[in-house]
Amino acid sequence: MMEYRHSLKGVSTSAVMLLIVLAIFVTAASATGKRKKKAAAPAPAVSKLDYSIFKWPPPPSITRVQFLDFFSSEKIEDTATGKKSSGWMDRIAGVSEKNDKRIPKLRFELLTPYGMAVDSKGRLYVADGKVGAVFIFNTETRDVEMIKHGMNAEFGRIFGLAIDDNDQLLVTDGVKHHVLIFDANHKLKSQFGDGVLKDPCGIAIDSEHRFIYIADTELDQVLVFDADTYKLLRRIGTTGMQHTLTTPGDFSKPTNVAVDQEGNLYVTDTFNDRVEVFDGEGTFIRAFGKNGDGPGDFARPKAIAIDSDGHIWVADAMLCRLQVFTPEGTLLMGMGVFGKKPGQFQSLAGLAIDKNNRIFASDQFPGRVEMFRYVPDADARVEFERRKAEVDAQNAQQSPAPSAKAQAAVSVAPQKQGMKLAPPEALAGQSATSSGAAQKQAAPPAQSSTPQ
């Protein structure tokens, strides 16, 4: 009898244990099912910013500049692999998550983007001195290659970039005091400027006349080299005066250079808040700009570039704006205020315009490059004529033979219809005065400092 009771007790204990185990598994399965249901829930759609609304001058004026995109880092890889998440059994079994491809890899990002250049394939090159690398962006796929310090070359502090007709990349280094040359495959080929350059910054190539121009901020000079032999040909400006010269043809901390189709040289004389112009022999022609925050003024002019119509674009790091001038220095248009939105800037440093009329502006504090599309004069003229024909057709339908009074009323009709028919060549539509006032109100007190 006693043996029977012990047997029953053992059976009941086993049954209780079995029930407990089953309960645990059911609870775990239920929790897993809930997690799967939660994971299966569709992610809310993320609304994307419509970049097409960012254009200058603003409508109804004819657009001359259109924001396209920006670049700031290596492309974010898609981490959705379809793998199940590792559970507690995987962790107990010692399965490591180090090889889990769903964990995003570390990405290189722009920190202080400065000089830029575009090669024959349309790839954008950006020098970043703090990262110690040249970023190479495919502007279509957003894939990124890099020329890195310690791996592909030895960099000190890189600033200016230029690319010649053979897709060779020239990189100025202010700490190493020279210019590095990379071939089209981004292999270090040679260097020049040692013993001559002190703090090279902006660089430009005159492919037709075979000159290389380099702005040296420490020497207060622009040095001219032969584009084939890399031998020093001449110097522009007076050195050794501790950045105090203001005389025409001299500089105080020149930072960047650009060359037009006639071979004329444009130099941003940064500490003198002006742009100086020289001919191909280095003879001074003219200067424009002065210190201030009004239309056509400069507070810290840095980058300079020339578009396909010969307009001179100047980036101002302190005023956070781009201004467009004729070669003679007449202001045509201004754009940009302090901020992080498209078309806003914080410490503009670099500027490049390629053969496809794309404008690239490097913005140091957000660590990005903004890309715009420039609408050339010919395209703007076509749009102007199209609008004019449309207005003329509307006016003709209204009255076949208008009186003098009716003609006066019709003459303002385009304005009432929201159509400003100003000549497109003038980049009209944005008042230089109102633009300057907006810049004065929006510019930060001393947010942008010279990286030199």
Question: What does each of the 452 residues of the chain score in pLDDT, given as a tens digit?
Answer: 445 444 544 545 555 565 555 555 545 555 555 554 455 556 555 567 788 899 999 999 999 999 999 999 986 655 444 445 555 555 554 555 555 555 556 688 999 999 999 999 999 999 999 999 999 999 999 999 999 999 999 999 999 999 999 999 999 999 999 999 999 999 999 999 999 999 999 999 999 999 999 999 999 999 999 999 999 999 999 999 999 999 999 999 999 999 999 999 999 999 999 999 999 999 999 999 999 999 999 999 999 999 999 999 999 999 999 999 999 999 999 999 999 999 999 999 999 999 999 999 999 999 999 999 999 999 999 999 999 999 989 888 876 655 555 554 444 434 333 333 445 555 543 434 334 443 344 344 333 334 44
- Residue 19's pLDDT is what? 57
Distance separating alpha carbons of residues 363 and 347, to the nearest angstrom? 6
Distance separating alpha carbons of residues 188 and 129, to the nearest angstrom? 18
* Type and span of the H or E element at 200: strand 200-206
Peptide bond into 414 cis (omega under 30): no
pTM higher than 0.85? no
* Type and span of the H or E element at 353: strand 348-353
- Alpha-carbon torsion, ordered 330, 332, 338, 342, to 10 deg: -150
Indicate the SS3 state at residue 374. Answer: strand
SS (H, E, C) 66-129: EEEEEECECCCCCCCCCCCCCCHHHHHCCCCCCCCCCCCCCCCECCCEEEEEECCCCCEEEEEC
- Alpha-carbon torsion, ordered 396, 400, 406, 411, to 10 deg: 20
User: Cβ neighbours of residue 43 under 8 Å, at least 6 residues apart?
Assistant: none
Distance separating alpha carbons of residues 72 and 62, to the nearest angstrom? 30
Distance separating alpha carbons of residues 32 and 9, to the nearest angstrom? 35
Sheet holding 211-216, edge to edge: 200-206, 211-216, 221-226, 232-236
CB 134 within 8 A of CB 116: no
For the residues of 407-448, what is the DSSP string, one character each? HHHHHTHHHHTT-----GGGT-SS-HHHHHHHHHHHS-SS--
Indicate the SS3 state at residue 44. Answer: coil
- Residue 442's pLDDT is what? 39
Indicate the SS3 state at residue 310. Answer: coil
Other Cβ atoms less than 10 A from the Cβ of 127: the count is 30
Return the structure tokens found at 108: 């290189």
Q: How far is CA 22 from CA 16, 34, 323, 377, in A?
A: 10, 18, 75, 79
- Residue 45's pLDDT is what? 58
